[in-house]
Structure 1
Amino acid sequence: MQSEQAVKAHAMPDWPAIVAVVLGVTAFSVAQGVTYPLISLVLEARGVSSTMIGVNAVGFAMGLGAATLMLARLTQRFRANQLIIAGLIGCSLCLATFATFSSMFVWFLARFLLGFCASLIFMLSEAWLNVACPDRMRGRVSGIYGASICAGFAAGPLAIPLFGTDGGFGFALTAVYLALVAFATAMLMYSTRTVPEPSSTRDLFRFFRHAPMLIAMVFAFGFADIAAISAMPVYFVRTGHSEAFAAISVTVLALPTALAQPLIGYALDRLPRHSVAVGTAFVAASSYLAIPFLDTPALILCAFAMMGTASFSLYTCALTMLGENFRGGMLLAGSAAYALIYAVGSGAGSSLTGLIMEIGGPDAAPLSVGAALAVFAFAFLLGRRR
């Protein structure tokens, strides 16, 4: 049976909660967009080996995993809105730590805690968004949510050319920004009518059994997304393009993706949602498969932008369909499952694509990812018909 707050959410959106969620997830994506490149650049300037830089980055991933495993216990003891505010404050303190200390061990701990707090914000925000949003406008709100994530990731790295890598000013400024977002979120909490219900570890395993195609959708997104960010710039360089072209490709990937998500959300509210998901998967697959056969840089960048937009749209579809099909604690369990499977998919995308490129040559990378996305699209289409 649906809870009273879920019934109310289907009648009227909880706008203060939606605004708080969008603010929080944007802050999360800005923080991650800053820390990934900035920490690596700072450590590189200090003469730290690439191996130790990689080990330091593992701390963030460990924090993500720890938060996923502890989510059920935390939500049974604390309200979700309290955990989101605590996560924002925790992210702010971690960034302040980067600006204050230089010890590798301290940075590793801070990066672990940053991953833990950021993951809490991400998972709780997804569940709360679906609780606060009526189904008739779920796709559009999910599209705005996805656009905010993309915009945050794109805006985060701007702190590097603006404020440089010396003195920790980029970290400090981002810490202040997150603290302000935490304060604004706390103010919005007084007006909210909804809150995600607690989940359990049992719910997490139940979700994997009940929603295999949604899990596959998020895995495909993680695989294709990280392959585009990590492997495709290398592919462009190896196929004779300049490093500047490879760098521009990442920007071209991010901006259209952010702009397109509200349009995808509108389509999700007007068309059959499974059809939109299958369509975006086929577009992503076709774009990957077309890139090796294009010679003009403008056409390559257009295909690359279309591929990034369609790949991220898989996640917008999955988020919308999560709220459409699940209620109560299963919403939070689904958000945790999404975070976990995205980590698996992104790990597979970065490692397997690089290996395939080494074995089969540069063109094997986009062709293999495109083929994998095509298989997923056909499987999802057949699964829906059954």
Structure 2
Amino acid sequence: MDRQRIVNLLAAIAAITVFGFTFGLMFPLISLIMESRGIPSQWIGYNAAMHPLGIVLSIFVIPYVVRRFGAKRAVIGAALLTGAVIVSYPFFPVFWWWFGFRVLQGFFVSILFAISEAWIVRFSEGAWRTRILAIYTSILALSFGGGPAIIGFTGIEGALPFLVGGAVLLAAIIPIFFVRDEEVDSDDETPLSVLAFAKKAPILLFAVGMFAILDAANLSFLPVYAVKKGFSQDMAAFALTAFVLGNTVLQFPIGWLADHFPKRWVMVGCGVLSGTCSFLVPMVFGTWALWPVLTVMGATAAGIYTVALAELGERFSGHELVTGTASFSTMWGVGALVGSLAAGWSIAGFGPDGLPFTMAAVFAVFIISAIVSALKERQQPA
């Protein structure tokens, strides 16, 4: 791998760190603040849903932004705008400003994510792809875990946690300035639409959507769930850290399995473990077993995304690969929108334990669908 490809990969990983940290910090921070002010769970869910709504809306402008300004400028600009949104929260009232801010935050962060992930998949081509993608998902998970951990030190009152988030954004864009190669494909091939890509890889997009539902639901409501079950705010934030921490060490074994066994069956196994762990959360809450259960649940849910991304890189290239990463981002936004709303409704309708049981039911649907897909793939002639 030449030096320039390494620089591009490091720049992309830096941008993904921004994405992960802001998601990991802002989702629980805003939810905990709204919970502390007595805002009902349904409205917390509606507010959390504004972030993925912004992600979905961004798909319509990302190609134009890249063509107009170039990939590097687009990433740097999106990071600066995301930082401006984050530091604005504590200076405006919750209703209705924070709803608009969540849309803008999701919109700008999605530009970071879609471009950076396209960089990663493109420049990891070759024998090192799986290992690079494992490093990528591990760093993403670590940045997710770092966000809620900060809350344990800064608390949720005042502007400090928001200012910390803004400072990290500024620090993380520094490596991006070293990117030198921003060449855009110059051929006349017409890129696929998201719908056209979906017909080619429906199970991959479905897998991303299922992961996003669980991911967004827990990012938004796991701390709220833990507070309602008796944890302090600090312990509730660390519960979310446990949910994402396992990804930093468990993606490599999941990647190894995907290299040695059919990827669809690895996805099924990850889905079974995620759904089972979610179902067990109410039964082990308040015991030592909660922490490994949360860790395995988060790691195997993220493993579904890792395997889907690896298959995307193997099956697609060129314009189709770019469309695929944009489609993944869009599907994540749709799934996160559903997950945020479903989490709020489940807690409001069935009490705190409605959250983990609803997520277990969601993964039961995914498991059945993935098994059917794997069986169909196995029956196809080689």
TM range (shorter): 0.7 to 0.9
Q: Summarize the alignment of residues 228-247 of structure 1 with structure 2, pairs less than 5 Å apart.
A: 228=218, 242-243=230-231
User: Do the aligned residues in 1 keep the contact of 2:276 with 2:360 (CA within 8 Å)?
Assistant: no
Q: What is the CA deviation profile of residues 35-89 of structure 1, one whole-angstrom value per residue up to 9, with x for unaligned ones?
A: 22333455667x5855776665454333222212222332333322221111112
Q: Summarize the alignment of residues 252-331 of structure 1 with structure 2, pairs less than 5 Å apart.
A: 252-269=242-259, 271-288=261-278, 297-299=287-289, 301-331=291-321
Deviates more, 1:270-279 or 1:304-313: 270-279
**CA shift in 2, pair 1:176/1:116, >3 Å:** same
Query: Gaps spanning 5+ residues in structure 2: where?
Result: none
Residue 372 of structure 1 is matched in structure 2 by: 365
Match of 2:109 among 118, 121, 132: 118
Residue 340 of structure 1 is matched in structure 2 by: 330
Residue 157 of structure 1 is matched in structure 2 by: 148
Shift of 1:325: 1.1
Which residue identity lines up with residue 160 of structure 2 in the other structure?
F
Shift of 1:159: 3.1
Q: Summarize the alignment of residues 34-183 of structure 1 with structure 2, pairs less than 5 Å apart.
A: 34-42=25-33, 49-50=39-40, 57-98=48-89, 101-102=91-92, 107-183=98-174
Alignment partner of 2:60: what SS? helix
Residues in 2 aligned to 1:291 and 1:166: alpha-carbon distance in whole angstroms: 29
Residues in 2 aligned to 1:130 and 1:228: alpha-carbon distance in whole angstroms: 27
Q: What is the CA deviation profile of residues 310-343 of structure 1, one whole-angstrom value per residue up to 9, with x for unaligned ones?
A: 1110001111111111112222221221122223
User: Do the aligned residues in 2 keep the contact of 1:64 with 1:118 (CA within 8 Å)?
Assistant: yes
Residues in 1 aligned to 2:98 and 2:143: alpha-carbon distance in whole angstroms: 23
Alignment partner of 2:167: what SS? helix
Q: Tell me if 1:222 matches 2:215.
A: no
Shift of 1:91: 1.5
Which residue identity lines up with residue 231 of structure 2 in the other structure?
E
User: Do the aligned residues in 1 keep the contact of 2:31 with 2:221 (CA within 8 Å)?
Assistant: no
Alignment partner of 1:134: what SS? coil
Residue 186 of structure 1 is matched in structure 2 by: 177
**CA shift in 2, pair 1:52/1:236, >3 Å:** closer
Residues in 2 aligned to 1:202 and 1:137: alpha-carbon distance in whole angstroms: 27
Shift of 1:115: 1.6
Which residue identity lines up with residue 265 of structure 1 in the other structure?
G
Shift of 1:15: 0.9
Shift of 1:168: 1.5
Shift of 1:201: 7.2
Alignment partner of 1:136: what SS? coil
User: Do the aligned residues in 2 keep the contact of 1:83 with 1:120 (CA within 8 Å)?
Assistant: yes
User: Do the aligned residues in 1 keep the contact of 2:32 with 2:223 (CA within 8 Å)?
Assistant: no
Query: Gaps spanning 5+ residues in structure 1: where?
Result: 1-8
**CA shift in 2, pair 1:172/1:243, >3 Å:** closer
Q: What is the CA deviation profile of residues 289-318 of structure 1, one whole-angstrom value per residue up to 9, with x for unaligned ones?
A: 666777993445434432221111000111
Which residue identity lines up with residue 107 of structure 2 in the other structure?
F
User: Do the aligned residues in 1 keep the contact of 2:255 with 2:306 (CA within 8 Å)?
Assistant: yes
Which residue identity lines up with residue 364 of structure 2 in the other structure?
A
Which residue identity lines up with residue 113 of structure 1 in the other structure?
L
Residues in 1 aligned to 2:79 and 2:218: alpha-carbon distance in whole angstroms: 29
Shift of 1:22: 0.8
Which residue identity lines up with residue 374 of structure 2 in the other structure?
L
User: Do the aligned residues in 1 keep the contact of 2:207 with 2:305 (CA within 8 Å)?
Assistant: yes
User: Do the aligned residues in 1 keep the contact of 2:51 with 2:106 (CA within 8 Å)?
Assistant: yes
Shift of 1:268: 3.6
